[in-house]
Amino acid sequence: MKDFAQGETLYVRATRSDDLPALRQIIDSTGLFPGEMIDDMATPFLTESGSADRWLTLDDGEPIGVAYFAPERMTAGTWNLLLIAIRSDRQGQGLGARLIDAVEQALASDGQRVLLVETSGLPEFERTRAFYDGRHYRREAVIHDFYQAGEDKVVFWKRLDS
C-alpha cells in the first residue's frame, strides 16, 4: 500500500458533467463494464433537479474515483451503492476507503439508515468482497446463479445510523 504524496490534496465532490470523460477512462481502466455506459447512468443526476441519485467524484486535481448510489424504492432510508471505482493506477492506496467513507457520511448526515452493496461471487471478485468485509459490511445474502449460471450475487449490508 502506497502512502499519499506529501501535500497531495484529495477531496470528494459532487460529480459534474465535465468529469464524464475521465470517469469513462476510470471505468475502462477497471474493466467493470464499458465506460460509455457512464453517460446514460449519470444523466438523470446531472440534468434532473429532482433526481434522488447521487454521484461523487474523488479528485486530486483530476477525477481519480467515482461513486454512484441511489435510494432503494419502497423503503425508508435504505440505499444501494451501485458503483464505486478508483482509477486502476491509483488502487491500493486507501482511496476506495476514503470514497466509501464519504458516501456513508453523506447518507448518515441526511438521516439515511442502511447501505447495500452487491457484487459477484466469482473468485476474481474476492478482493472486492474483502474490501467490504474490511469496511464492516455484513454479508447479508448470496443469490445463487444470479448474474449467469455459476455466478452468484453477494449482498453486503451496513447500518449507517448507529
Q: What are the residue ranges of CATH 3.40.630.30 in the chain?
A: 1-112
pLDDT tens sequence across 55-86: 999 999 999 999 999 999 999 999 999 999 99
What kind and span of H or E run contains 71?
strand 63-71
With CA atoms as reference, report the closest residue to 114 among 51, 153, 61, 159.
Answer: 159
Specify the CATH number of the domain 1-112: 3.40.630.30
Please tell me the pTM assigned to this model.
0.90
In sequence order, the 6+-apart residues with CB closer than 8 A to the CB of 63 are 19, 22, 23, 26, 57
